[in-house]
Amino acid sequence: MIKRVLVANRGEIACRILRACREAGIEGVAVFAGNDSTSLFTELADISIELKGEGLTETYLNQEQIITIALENGCDSVHPGFGFLSERADFANAVIAAGLIWIGPSAEAITNMGDKMTARMTMKAAGVPVIPGVEVKGGLAEILEVAPSVGFPLLLKATAGGGGKGMRAVHSPDNLEIEAKAAMREALNAFGDDRVYVERLLTGSRHIEIQVLADSHGRTIHLGERECSVQRRHQKVFEESPSIALDAQLREEMGEAACEAARAVDYEGAGTVEFLVTPKGEFFFLEMNTRIQVEHPVTEMVTGVDIVREQLRIAAGEPMSCGELQIRGHAIEVRLYAEDPANNFLPCIGELAVFIPPEGPGVRLDTGVRQGDSVTPDYDPMLAKLIVWAPSRAEALQRMSRALDEFIVLGCTTNLRFLRELCGHPDVVDGWTTTDMIERLWPDGWTPDMPSIILDAGLLIASACESSGMGRQKRVNLSTTGESPSPFNTISRRFP
């Protein structure tokens, strides 16, 4: 039995894991850097220990210090969450060598799936369709040599990559060398490995991923799909389950392919197999994430499975508790980022002077921040994940729009207004979501229809009035000309 877990992470995923531990009767230990001392996750833990040092390398990426804290505080296991050390095979080995339980797949599975070229070759051997491409081993010279055989447009991808880093689209041979050097340089800086491989760029495709679970009792299952096609800079913004692009037959074919991918590396735990699906209904293996995914809540909402709780069961050697796959209703997730969509989605900093999340039936918020917290450049700019569930996709979109209308964040620029517009766009409503959607809809960049300072002032007034408890329910409307609808029309707040 697992009795005390050290959570080697921070923010909203640390909160998520600690809550799952509490519900399972397991004690949770948090580790935190000095600038996280007042963060929510430190308060949710049974024990919180400060990491010595400055910066990520000395704190959240310091394997030796984290394992020492686990041992000194009576932990029997380590959960890495996502990001940071979650896909580091050497960390998994170090945790196991210290006599602790690693809540994740084996180091061998992490290595085989973490190296993108090795993963491609493993999937080919397992009969899982892969994107046409070439595994490159000889560096820049070989990239320039093999690229024409792949054809343009093509995609250069870091072998050890993830999160869109070390990834470059090349539409013409004229740009190949420049983009290859840039991809290799970015890969080296991000992963300490400059290897890059070449594959066909499948334009107009959908990004579909399958959630898998596998235990030590020989059972491997899938929990259906998540569509994650809407992305900026190769990072997801809008996710949903199920996908309207899949019928029952294609869902089962992709689900079985994902299970075969997991079996090919003797996988145990929770993992996600990602595919690209073409307009013709062909699907190709993209990669496998050997950890819990950011977007796992949409699967939980439609299946009723607590994926983190299943991770704990599987790591303890217990059989998973899931029965046959049953998908109920529709779930949608959007990611709230501290970033400026009108400035190429660049990260932003500031204090969350006002942070009022939405409430109501079918609404879930996974976050690690609260009103008054500071947003710094030290960590990923994701502030929260807003998830809704409803009986149908149309109702889920309506619920998401309502929830976004009620969400107020002031003091730091976020993508909240962009999310409102995105969720109401006809292409999203009709389900025409593809990986190039944002670039297709806003080729010159997204521009808000009203200056932020005006909208923020209106929201601040609304927030102040509601906090004071004054007034009656009234629809905000600052448009006096009647010539065009005001964005305030979509924000329901209390006014005198």
Residues labelled catalytic: 291
Q: How far is Cα 251 from Cα 256, in angstroms, rounded to an integer? A: 9
b/e 193-215 (16+ beta carbons within 10 angstroms → b): ebbbbbbbbbeebbbbbbbbbbb
The DSSP element (H or E) to which 6 belongs, if any, is strand 4-7
**3-state DSSP assignment of residue 298:** helix
H helices present in 320-415, as ranges: 393-406
Q: How far is Cα 472 from Cα 204, in angstroms, rounded to an integer? A: 48
Contact between residue 205 and residue 169 where contact means Cβ atoms under 8 Å apart: no
In the chain, count of helices (H) and strands (E)? 17, 25
Q: What angle do CA 216, 331, 81 make, to 5 degrees?
A: 45
**3-state DSSP assignment of residue 352:** coil
Tokens 């508790």, located at residue: 321
Handedness of CA 313, 252, 262, 260 (dihedral sign): positive
Q: How far is Cα 337 from Cα 146, in angstroms, rounded to an integer? A: 38
Contact between residue 287 and residue 125 where contact means Cβ atoms under 8 Å apart: no
* DSSP E strand stretches across 301-367: 330-337, 339-340, 346-347, 350-351, 354-356, 363-367
Q: How far is Cα 118 from Cα 111, in angstroms, rounded to an integer? A: 9
CB under 8 A, 24+ apart: contacts of 141-147: 143/176, 143/180, 143/196, 143/198, 144/176, 144/177, 144/180, 146/198, 147/173, 147/176, 147/198
- Using DSSP bridges, classify how beta strands 350-351 and 374-375 pair: parallel, antiparallel or unpaired: antiparallel
- Residue 348, token pair as written in the block: 């932003």
Q: How far is Cα 268 from Cα 217, in angstroms, rounded to an integer? A: 10
